[in-house]
Structure 1
Amino acid sequence: MTDLRTEPTQAALTPQSPPERMRAARYHQLGGPFQVDVVETPQPRPTDVLVQVKACGLVPNTINSLNPPPMVQPPALPAIYGLDPAGVVVEAGSLVHGVEVGDRVYVNPLRYCGSCRHCRKGNVLACDYASLNGYFGTGPKSAQMLLDYPHGGYAEYLVAPHYSLVRLPDQVSFETAARWGYLGTAYSGLRRAGVDMSTTVLINGMSGTLGLGATLFALALGAPMVLGVGRNAERLHRVKALAPDRIHVHATSSSRSIEDWAREVTRGIGADVVVDALPERSPAAAFSAAAAALARGGTHVNIGGILEDVTMSPPRIMTSNQSYLGSFWFTTAEGQEMADLAASGTVNLDVFEHEIYGLEDLDTAMAALSAGEREGGFSNFVISPDK
């Protein structure tokens, strides 16, 4: 394993002819290690593409996803995990149009049927077949989709439907694109909450993996004031340094409540939008403490990992004309918007410190991630089959 904390180098863009067999890190049994096996290289169907993987994200929740809660569907074992693959198109099916061999792409792992009433209305996350390829399924029929697309990004190649591709501009490296899942989750939540140039945003868990992405895109969407809450004061101030005139931070170790602090900063109004980006297993009290800072007429959007039930006051929500949303993942269209924002220089994605591991080092990488060997959201753990 080599730990790279420097600017990423672009991988060669000349696609290689796919071999008959490939290396893949497979998970064989619960609690066991990943094992690098040699398996058949998948073949694209008429509406699929074959992508040579250059980088795939290792997200903080990967360890939890290996033994997921009852509300989600795990893939059949042995499984090839890998949620956020980026690479080069090396083959395109006969019914794929507008995609060229050699295209640099991020592969959105969101899979859906495309035929049900939810899909036809554009609400693909509500599809009964909705799944995150290389991770788990969220719909009651997602087990079938996970069988249809069994290859995640911890392999040299994967097959994906043409609708999943986000074209990457030169400004976005494969390593940065391997962060697209958490960035996209934050971006979609901000968009659903209507964040724009007149919105004050409070991000609960600002310096974490989700929270840092929410901060970057809140700035890109024009939010004039971004309030950040977190446990680590040093990391919070590192985030503040990205836009010191627009970002205000508050450590939860302070004796002052989040609500009192936020209302003082906003001259008594509160935050127009509160984004909860807390990690899994955070206490419900931490969720409620930030939600209390929501302004009248404001919107609270939950993209985080709180698993406990929280207490809410329907009369207060009603009389304050507030909205509470849950937002999960993002569409390919939103992923392309993010790429376009990066291409135009509207969002700065140069803040990440890429820590790159090979397929054989996947367990080592997960152990480092689990042990907290990272700089909050600034650390970007990446698996590279080329390494």
Structure 2
Amino acid sequence: MTLMAAARVHDRTGTLRLEKVAVPEPGPRDVLVSVASAGLAPSLLKLLERGSFKHLPTVPGHEIAGTVVAVGDEADPGLAGARVRVHPVLACGTCRYCRGDREQMCASVAMIGHGAHGTGPMPLYERYHDGGLAEYVRVPSWLVDVLPGGVGFDVAAKTHDLANAVRALKCAALPPGGTLVVTAATGTMGTATVKLAPFFGAARLVLVGRSAQRLERVRELSSLPADTVALDELDGDWETEGGLTGRLRDLVPDGADAVLDFLPQGGGTAQATAALATGGTLVHMGGNRAPFPYSARDLQHHCWRVVGTRACTRTDTAAVLDLLGSGALRADDLITHRYALADVNEAFAATRRRTEPIWMAVVHP
């Protein structure tokens, strides 16, 4: 039996143990990937604490890129030796959501190396719950994407986050030349959105985050004109007195065409909504539990659209890979932190502390 190093979680506390376990055997329709890079997602440990991981112990890590080293008898033999990224979304493939480019809404949806989110049976998750924080991972052959030349493994591993931003931008349906507000702009999703916004109709950005210094670094990523709003520089009672709305209205008197909101908590979501133009769109992907203070009449009066969205689809990831492969999109500068597998607990701790700016982080097993 051949062994490999793997970081495994055994309970909801989130502490990972570096262990030696058997290299998984690929089944007839599987491929075995030698992991070159695995992305870190801060939400992973939160989902673990909530019980979304249904199989313990397990190897977490849903953002995976590497090289195919073994191919099952019924899989495409041409995948052998291919540089690939893994699409982690496990879904039935036949329901109305899967047929309609909305597989993240499937009743059987779960993710390789991540949580189970569906309400129905999840047979694929039973087999493929182990993820990429290991030297090797077994995945369905139909869920690997061959990488375009010139796309490195680190960016390939983070394709899923870039595609999440694509999904949010599609939901925003910006008019050509639109003004887009991005909240939590200094995080993973914010920086991904800044990179991708020019391809989805945006002509101007307004970036909202805690720190003016960190926002300035993010503004340097943008190929578009970008203003910034630092929450730390607003009046101390801004959440109750409308300080964010006022600042956004100063910058965009006629209102923003869309807000892409990644705030996980607090009153910023509602206040950014109040800065929308008539007919504008709020797209929320932050999981904010704060009460939303607008009535149905408010939505009708302002003709606002409010869209909740999560994750991405294969179509979204294909769009990212096309942009990367053509050279139109360059995202290597988003990878700010790289860790060895032995340092994975410190890596997750750093993403929680956020004492230094972390846009995207990866682990090299």
**TM-based fold match above 0.5:** yes
Q: Give, as a single letter, the amino acid of the residue that structure 1 aligns with 2:243.
A: S
Q: Is residue 2:257 matched to residue 1:272?
A: yes
Q: Is residue 2:115 matched to residue 1:133?
A: no
Question: Which stretch of the first structure deviates more once superposed, 252-261 or 154-163?
Answer: 252-261
Instruction: Quote the residue 2:138 is aligned against.
Output: 159
Measure how far apart 1:142 and its partner are.
5.6
Q: Is residue 2:198 matched to residue 1:213?
A: no
Q: Is residue 2:78 matched to residue 1:96?
A: no
Q: Give, as a single letter, the amino acid of the residue that structure 2 aligns with 1:223.
A: A
Question: Which whole-Å CA distance do the structure 1 matches of 2:125 and 2:316 have between them?
Answer: 23
1:322 to 299, 304, 315: 304
The CA deviation string for residues 149-174 of structure 1, in whole angstroms up to 9 with x for no partner, is 12200111112223322332233221
Q: Which runs of 5+ in 1 are unaligned?
A: 1-18
Q: Which runs of 5+ in 2 are unaligned?
A: 236-241
Instruction: Quote the residue 2:364 is aligned against.
Output: 384
Contact 1:134 1:150 in 2 (8 A): yes
Aligned pairs for 1:161-310 within 5 A: 161-195=140-174, 197-243=176-222, 246-252=225-231, 253-255=233-235, 257-266=243-252, 268-278=253-263, 280=264, 282-283=265-266, 285-310=267-292
Measure how far apart 1:306 and its partner are.
1.2
Could you say if the C-alpha distance between residues 120 and 254 of structure 1 is closer, same or farther in structure 2, counting changes exceeding 3 Å?
Answer: same
Measure how far apart 1:98 and its partner are.
8.1
Question: Which whole-Å CA distance do the structure 2 matches of 1:107 and 1:190 have between them?
Answer: 22
Contact 2:194 2:222 in 1 (8 A): no
Q: Is residue 2:39 matched to residue 1:57?
A: yes
Measure how far apart 1:341 and its partner are.
0.8
Contact 1:152 1:158 in 2 (8 A): yes
Q: Give, as a single letter, the amino acid of the residue that structure 1 aligns with 2:261.
A: D
SS in 2 for 1:295: strand
Question: Which whole-Å CA distance do the structure 1 matches of 2:73 and 2:121 have between them?
Answer: 26
Aligned pairs for 1:53-92 within 5 A: 53-68=35-50, 73-92=52-71
Aligned pairs for 1:40-51 within 5 A: 40-51=22-33
Per the normalisation by structure 1, the TM-score is 0.86
Could you say if the C-alpha distance between residues 34 and 46 of structure 1 is closer, same or farther in structure 2, counting changes exceeding 3 Å?
Answer: same
Could you say if the C-alpha distance between residues 24 and 142 of structure 1 is closer, same or farther in structure 2, counting changes exceeding 3 Å?
Answer: farther
Question: Which whole-Å CA distance do the structure 1 matches of 2:41 and 2:79 have between them?
Answer: 29
Contact 2:32 2:68 in 1 (8 A): yes
Q: Give, as a single letter, the amino acid of the residue that structure 2 aligns with 1:149.
A: Y
Question: Which whole-Å CA distance do the structure 2 matches of 1:32 and 1:329 have between them?
Answer: 22
2:84 to 105, 113, 116: 105
Q: Is residue 2:21 matched to residue 1:39?
A: yes
Q: Give, as a single letter, the amino acid of the residue that structure 1 aligns with 2:248.
A: A
2:347 to 338, 348, 365: 365
Question: Which whole-Å CA distance do the structure 2 matches of 1:146 and 1:156 have between them?
Answer: 20
SS in 1 for 2:344: helix
Question: Which whole-Å CA distance do the structure 1 matches of 2:229 and 2:330 have between them?
Answer: 23
Question: Which whole-Å CA distance do the structure 2 matches of 1:111 and 1:45 have between them?
Answer: 16
Question: Which whole-Å CA distance do the structure 2 matches of 1:32 and 1:333 have between them?
Answer: 32
Measure how far apart 1:104 and its partner are.
1.5
Question: Which whole-Å CA distance do the structure 2 matches of 1:38 and 1:326 have between them?
Answer: 41
Count of matched residue pairs? 358
Instruction: Quote the residue 1:346 is aligned against.
Output: 328
Question: Which whole-Å CA distance do the structure 2 matches of 1:172 and 1:142 have between them?
Answer: 36
Amino-acid identity (%): 30
| CA root-mean-square deviation | 2.2
Contact 2:182 2:207 in 1 (8 A): yes
Question: Which whole-Å CA distance do the structure 2 matches of 1:218 and 1:332 have between them?
Answer: 19
The structure that is helix-richer by fraction is 2
The CA deviation string for residues 236-255 of structure 1, in whole angstroms up to 9 with x for no partner, is 11122233751111112224
Could you say if the C-alpha distance between residues 318 and 247 of structure 1 is closer, same or farther in structure 2, counting changes exceeding 3 Å?
Answer: same
Measure how far apart 1:222 and its partner are.
4.2
SS in 1 for 2:85: strand
Contact 2:38 2:154 in 1 (8 A): yes
Question: Which whole-Å CA distance do the structure 2 matches of 1:308 and 1:265 have between them?
Answer: 25
Q: Give, as a single letter, the amino acid of the residue that structure 2 aligns with 1:199.
A: G
Question: Which whole-Å CA distance do the structure 1 matches of 2:104 and 2:299 have between them?
Answer: 26
Per the normalisation by structure 2, the TM-score is 0.90
